[in-house]
Chains A and B, each alone.
Chain A
Amino acid sequence: MKGSMTCRDGVRVLIDYTEGVLSAPRRSAVEAHVGGCVRCRGFVRSYRETPRILRDATVTRIPARLQGRLRRMVAGLSARATLARSGKPTGRKR
Chain B
Amino acid sequence: MRQQLRNRSPSVVPTDDEALVRRAVMGDHAAFETLVELYRDRIYGLARRLTGSAADAEEVLQETFLRAYRRLGGFRGEARFSTWLYRIATNAARVLRRGRARHPTEPLDPYLPRFDRQGMHAHDADHARAADAEAILDRGRLARHAREALGRLPERYRTPFVLRDLEELPTAEVAAVLGVTHDVVRQRVHRARLMLRGYLSHLVGVEP
- List the interface of chain A (C-beta within 8 A of B): 6-9, 11, 14-16, 37, 39-43, 45-51, 53-63, 66-67, 69-71, 73-75, 77-78, 81-82, 85
- Contact B130–A58 (Cβ < 8 Å): no
Report the separation of the CA atoms of residues A62 and B123 in the bound assembly, to the nearest whole angstrom: 42
Residue among B120, B123, B127, B161 making CB contact with A46, cutoff 8 Å? B127
Q: Name the A residues within 8 Å of B120 (CB-CB).
A: 6-8, 37, 39
Interface secondary structure of B, over-half rule: helix
Q: Can you spell out 24 A-B residue pairs with CB atoms less than 8 angstroms apart? A: A6-B120, A7-B113, A11-B113, A37-B121, A39-B127, A43-B113, A43-B197, A46-B128, A47-B197, A53-B133, A53-B200, A54-B149, A55-B166, A56-B134, A58-B49, A59-B45, A60-B44, A62-B41, A67-B40, A70-B62, A74-B36, A78-B33, A81-B29, A85-B6
Q: Name the B residues within 8 Å of A75 (CB-CB).
A: 33
- Contact A7–B133 (Cβ < 8 Å): no
- Contact B69–A77 (Cβ < 8 Å): yes
- Contact B62–A73 (Cβ < 8 Å): yes
Is residue B90 within 8 Å, beta carbon to beta carbon, of the partner chain? Answer: no
- Determine the interface band of chain B, counting residues with CB < 8 A from chain A: 35 or more
Is residue B17 within 8 Å, beta carbon to beta carbon, of the partner chain? Answer: no
Q: Name the B residues within 8 Å of A9 (CB-CB).
A: 119
List 4 tightest A-B contacts by C-beta distance, closest first. Answer: A6-B119, A42-B127, A42-B128, A51-B165
- Contact A81–B131 (Cβ < 8 Å): no
Per-residue CB contact flags for chain B residues 179-208 toward chain A (1 = under 8 Å, else 0) read 000000010011001101100110000000
- Contact B48–A60 (Cβ < 8 Å): yes
- Contact A73–B65 (Cβ < 8 Å): yes
Q: Name the A residues within 8 Å of B128 (CB-CB).
A: 41-43, 45-46
Q: Name the B residues within 8 Å of A45 (CB-CB).
A: 127-128, 131
- Contact B65–A74 (Cβ < 8 Å): yes
- Contacts A8-B115, A15-B186, A78-B33; is A42 near B65 (CB within 8 Å)? no
Interface secondary structure of A, over-half rule: helix
Per-residue CB contact flags for chain B residues 116-132 toward chain A (1 = under 8 Å, else 0) read 00111101111111110
Q: Name the B residues within 8 Å of A67 (CB-CB).
A: 40
Closest A-chain residue to B193, C-beta based? A50
Of the listed residues B33, B139, B193, the one surrounded by the most CB atoms of chain A closer than 10 A to its CB is B193
Report the separation of the CA atoms of residues A71 and B36 in the bound assembly, to the nearest whole angstrom: 8
- Contact A58–B147 (Cβ < 8 Å): yes
- Contact B40–A54 (Cβ < 8 Å): no
- Contact A7–B166 (Cβ < 8 Å): no
- Contact A70–B40 (Cβ < 8 Å): yes
Report the separation of the CA atoms of residues A33 and B165 in the bound assembly, to the nearest whole angstrom: 26
Is residue B61 within 8 Å, beta carbon to beta carbon, of the partner chain? Answer: yes
Report the separation of the CA atoms of residues A59 and B149 in the bound assembly, to the nearest whole angstrom: 15
Extra 5 A-B pairs, beta carbons < 8 Å, given A51-B161, A74-B33 = A39-B123, A46-B129, A51-B166, A60-B57, A85-B6
